[in-house]
Chain A
Amino acid sequence: MSEWQPKILAILCNWCSYAGADLAGVSRMQYPPNIRVVRVPCSGRVDPLFIMKSLQSGFDGVLISGCHPGDCHYISGNYVARRKFAVLKPLLEFIGIEPDRVQFSWISAGEGERFATVVTKVTEDIRKLGPSTKLVKKL
């Protein structure tokens, strides 16, 4: 059998991180093929429930990425998102999800290279943690 590959959901905002991913692609940068991308209008659109639902649905990890603070297309969406994620973090801890499974990063449209680096790091972090089965089996 081939080696286990983590499956990671990447929720990217339309204006920065998705464009960053695009740039990484057209620049032919290499990064692990483990992410599945969902494009959202803004990181502020991400209900923390999406993240937990993804883990429950069998994803081994989730990466959420939006514009850098201060650069939001909608001015403040990512600031509000940051607060929602701040609330989610202790909760994930409370339910015993390893902090590295859910990661946040700010990536601009021009940062194709940063996108590739982040995805590589997140994939490696989650590979180390192994498959996420807890929520899948029991919730």
Chain B
Amino acid sequence: MSSIIIDTSASRKVRELLRFLLESGKIDAAVTMRKIPEDSSYDLALITDASNLDEAVPIVPVMTVNAGQVLSSISTSGKKIAVVLKPCELRAFVELVKREQGSFENLLTISHTCGGVFPLDLVAAGKIEELLPKYEKIISKGEVPANTRDTCRACEHFIPMNADITVAVAGDCESGKGCVMYLNTDKAEEYAEGFSGERGELKFDPSALKKMLDARLLEKEKLFASITEDGPGLDRLLDTFGKCIGCHGCNSVCPICYCLLCDFESANFDYNLPYFEEHLSRRAALRLPPDTIFFHLGRLTHMSFSCVGCGMCSDVCPVGIPVAAVFRKTGEKTAALFDYVPGRDVEESIPVMVYKEEEFSDIG
């Protein structure tokens, strides 16, 4: 597989690639982050005409929606689509494909080594532009920017798994020094054929990012410790989730929560008169709306092993609950039972859909 040396900014080079793919008719559409000049904010855009690519900023530390979630509704359209995803977005999409919520067939996936994304309040405040130079400097040194999402700082999967094209964002990326585009698959070679740029045979070397990995692992340890500082337990759980107002924002932005009708929004959790009568016959008081904490326990049992730690849930929570940190921490435990890494391999089944005859002999 070959590589392409990037002689300009990494983001610009990817934009050029998207332009080339659209203009040559190799793809019907591109999915990329875009800057909205009028209000210095960002969105994720589906672009079908190359003339609309000028505002595309394919590589930018902003995640307004987990792109994996969005892809699930367009990947089976039959159109050829190139999509630029962050590593956790790609992993989220892999999890969705396993759940038959999308397909890689017509997709060209472009991902990049990721320094983490800024929380949405910084995006909304229009601060990204001024934060970028410092951010790039910090990640080029293999350090962890302090003002990114907590789960980003603690994420060890910042190198894309299974992308057709990997852009190694390293060194001084604004000037293009040290950035390389790796074509990992035959599909990538095929699509990129005819695209300009100096070709080479470079191999992506993850060991170059060892320093970043170590820094992230350290952050992870700190983050996980903060979740159960005074030990696990119900009081701690209440401390954490007691503030929840039950808006369900966290699961609506979660790429893994794909169910059209969430159990918690179904008739199973309809609160009617008999429910209240029944509960109040045994309990003197009832939290209203009911089950705000229970909802999290449900989500934890249903999907924590697939949590990719994108941090969307924490970022949208109106009351500042560190949802993502809890899910990552718990998810790591539940996934470890099956030696599972969410998004690692699309051929790998979801752990609760398969079994081995000889396992968990301690149960039963």
Contacts and interface: CB of A to CB of B under 8 A. Distances in A.
A134 interface: yes
Interface string A10-45: 000000000000000000000000000000000000
Contacts of A76: 355
B327 to A, nearest CB: 11
A106 B287 CA distance: 37
B282 A91 contact: no
Contact of B301 (A68, A87, A93): A87
* A contact patch SS: helix
A94 B364 contact: no
Interface string B228-240: 1000111111100
B294 interface: yes
Contact of A104 (B294, B352, B363): B363
B276 interface: no
Interface in B117-160: none
Contact of A94 (B282, B305, B330, B355): B330
A90 B334 contact: yes
Nearest to B264: A49
B247 interface: no
Given A83-B352, A83-B355, A96-B232, A69 B282 contact: no
B339 interface: no
Interface string A52-78: 110011100000001011100000100
Interface residues of B, number: 38
A105 interface: yes
A58 B354 CA distance: 33
B225 to A, nearest CB: 14
B337 interface: yes
A87 B287 contact: no
B355 A79 contact: yes
A135 B282 CA distance: 12
A129 interface: no
B277 interface: no
Contact of B293 (A49, A66, A104, A139): A139
Contact of B334 (A58, A87, A95, A138): A87
Given A87-B337, A95-B232, A136-B283, A48 B237 contact: no
A119 B330 CA distance: 31
Interface string A82-112: 1111111111011111000000111000000
Given A56-B294, A91-B300, A95-B297, A136 B282 contact: yes
A96 B234 contact: yes
Nearest to B228: A94
Given A86-B337, A96-B235, A134-B234, 10 more contacts: A52-B294, A69-B364, A82-B360, A86-B360, A87-B351, A88-B301, A91-B304, A94-B228, A94-B330, A104-B364
23 contacts: A48-B301, A58-B282, A76-B355, A80-B353, A80-B354, A82-B355, A82-B360, A83-B338, A83-B351, A85-B360, A86-B363, A90-B337, A91-B300, A94-B228, A94-B232, A95-B232, A95-B234, A96-B234, A105-B364, A134-B234, A135-B234, A136-B283, A138-B238
